[in-house]
Chain A
């Protein structure tokens, strides 16, 4: 098993990444930044997975990471498509503006 320090460091960085992504996701009003923060969180999770795969030696983890990266790309494509639509209508990517559906 790798020594004590490296295990903690990678997990610490991964959790930091996820934390940052979540904060950006919740605070920032600009839709594109929100998309970026989702990607950030996904990469954080990838880091965790790779570290776990390395530790346990089984390949499942890395396989999952590869899938995650590809699907994240698809996700971003869809996300940007939706944002583009909204931008064409409201000429702004501020999520506060979109509150037609409420009550």
Chain B
């Protein structure tokens, strides 16, 4: 019996915690009592908290028990399970990050809970999206990978279109849905071709088989590589597959965009690491150069388009494309240097914190009835000093100015790229980020240097959003001074 506990329940505990929380929420939903609102939000909070507890517990247990499944003697499904569920350092890091992002998003939802009152299935969807992410990140088998991806994507399409009466939200959901489903089709096609060639869906075996024969010249494998590149490219927002991203981010409700930009992006890069750090590792020479060029192009496209934006949400959508470009540079460095995976993780967490913080701030502005234009930002720096400084930290971190973790994130990624692929891509990335500095500076200019006398102080209804923003800002400074804490060094 304890074999099942030790090999099934313990490793899956973080995921199961969220699943139970989701199920409990569904049950509570059926009861539909007025009084249960606070109970539902506590249950929603408990999910990630317990999952976090289990993650810490797992990370402290001595070497992960079932690293070699062959020694296991137990029911067949348990043996199969250990093959498809991969629990290593990276998964734990990603679990930790997903839980933190989920908690922060719930903090933001909590503040305007009344607005979602009558339709609080949002909490259920958010919980299950997180479950999907965790499965995606820990999948060791293409099937599980596909399941995790779909479990994450489908509810995301729904929450993007959550404001049914708002045209933009629905239009964003439509575009995201169409792109998403097309991406899934391409993923499945690539999996089908691989399966056709090698007859197995296990990533480990595939990597082994791919490395064996001379697959560099096998057209089928190359086609599947291309299709996979497109599918993953869509998910992480790499040019030329990123056209949907600005519209989806702008259309979706602000806090949802925050969650999408941080957690969903994190999971998508988890997918990218699993695929390109795992399955297609042997074909590195083929896709490394290509991916780096795509990365640099997306940085240019992200920064240049952001220069012309008036709407803050759309501006940060384009800036997230530029940031994705940087992370892809890290992914391209994976084959040559395993440490690059930690750098990607560091970048994802700091970028996620920045993104969540910024969109929490924008959410606050929307609640105060201000449209997300630069002019509404004028003079805020001095009217809400603490929030002003928090936004300044987010913007400086996004721009990559030293005191904040953003600079170190960019520095580590570029350092990896220089280590593995020479200076060319780093120089291009550096020049394009210099070009893109202007729109971040515009935020600082409006925040501190334009003192629009008319502007009123931003009223903060609930303290939880305030705390969440402070946590994000403080973490950006904390991670710059102690990068080690992120399990990176």
- Direct chain A–B contact by Cβ atoms under 8 Å: yes
Hey, which chain B residues are within 8 Å of A55, CB to CB? 196, 199
Chain A interface SS verdict (over half): helix
Q: How many residues of A contact B (CB 8 A)?
A: 43
Q: Answer yes or no: B387 CB below 8 A from chain A CBs.
A: no
Interface hits, B189-213 → A, CB 8 Å: 189, 191-193, 195-196, 199-201
Q: How far is the CA of A53 from the CA of B195 in the complex (A)?
A: 8
Shortest beta-carbon distance, B202 to chain A, in Å? 8
Query: Is A45's CB under 8 angstroms from B185's CB?
Result: yes
Cα-based distance from A98 to B175 in the complex (angstroms):
9
Query: A86: which of B154, B174, B200 is its contact (CB, 8 Å)?
Result: B174
Q: Which of A41, A61, A75 contacts B195 (CB 8 A)?
A: A61
Q: Of residues 46 to 67 in A, which have CB atoms within 8 Å of B's CB atoms?
A: 48-49, 51-53, 55-58, 60-61, 63-64, 67
On whether the beta carbons of B171 and A75 are closer than 8 Å, the reply is no
Contact (Cβ within 8 A) A82 B177: yes
Residue contact A82 to B200, C-beta cutoff 8 Å: no
Task: Compute how far the CA of A51 lies from the CA of B247 in the bound complex, rounded to whole angstroms.
Answer: 39
A56 touching B199 in the complex, CB below 8 Å, given contacts A38-B181, A41-B185, A79-B181: yes
Nearest Cβ on chain B to A88's Cβ, whole angstroms: 8
Stretch at the interface among B40-48, B142-150, B395-403: B142-150
Given A74-B154, A90-B167, is A67 in contact with B147 using a C-beta cutoff of 8 Å?
A: yes
Chain A residues near B161 (CB-CB < 8 A): 81-82, 85
**Residues of chain B with a CB closer than 8 A to A45's CB:** 185, 188-189, 192
Residues of B within 8 A of A30 (CB): none
Task: Give Cα A56–Cα B195 distance, bound, in whole angstroms.
Answer: 9
Contact A100 B168 (CB under 8 A): yes
Q: Does A102 contact B (CB under 8 A)?
A: yes
Size bin of chain B's contact surface: 35 or more
Residues of A within 8 A of B184 (CB): 75
Contact A78-B154, Cβ < 8 Å, known A98-B174, A102-B247: yes
Chain A residues positioned under 8 Å from B181 (CB to CB): 38, 75, 79
Contact B192 A58 (CB under 8 A): no
Q: When each residue 60-103 of chain A gets 1 if its CB lies under 8 Å from chain B and 0 otherwise, what string results?
A: 11011001100100110011011101100110000100111111
Q: Mark B145-179, 1 if CB is under 8 A from A, else 0.
A: 01100100010011001001101101111110110
A85 contacts B158, C-beta separation under 8 Å: no
Q: Are B170 and A42 in contact (CB under 8 A)?
A: no
Q: Is B9 an interface residue (CB 8 A)?
A: no
A96 shortest CB reach to chain B, Å: 12
Residue numbers in B under 8 Å from A83 (CB-CB): 174
When distances are taken between beta carbons in the complex, the residues of chain B under 8 Å from A81 are 158, 161
* B193 surroundings in chain A (CB, below 8 A): 48
A7–B308 alpha-carbon span in the complex (Å)? 53
Tell me which residues across on chain A come within 8 A of B247, comparing CB atoms.
Answer: 101-102
Contact B154 A85 (CB under 8 A): no
State whether A101 touches B201 (Cβ < 8 A): no
Q: Identify which of B170, B177, B191 contacts A78 (C-beta below 8 A).
A: B177
Partner-B contacts on A (CB < 8 A) = 18, 21, 25, 31, 34, 38, 41-42, 45, 48-49, 51-53, 55-58, 60-61, 63-64, 67-68, 71, 74-75, 78-79, 81-83, 85-86, 89-90, 95, 98-103
User: Can you list 22 A-B pairs, Cβ within 8 angstroms, ordered by A?
Assistant: A42-B185, A42-B188, A45-B189, A48-B196, A52-B195, A53-B195, A60-B199, A60-B200, A61-B195, A64-B143, A68-B146, A78-B177, A82-B157, A82-B173, A82-B174, A86-B174, A89-B165, A89-B170, A98-B170, A100-B167, A101-B246, A103-B314
Interface residues of B (CB under 8 A from A): 142-143, 146-147, 150, 154, 157-158, 161, 164-165, 167-168, 170-175, 177-178, 181-182, 184-185, 188-189, 191-193, 195-196, 199-201, 246-247, 250-251, 308, 314
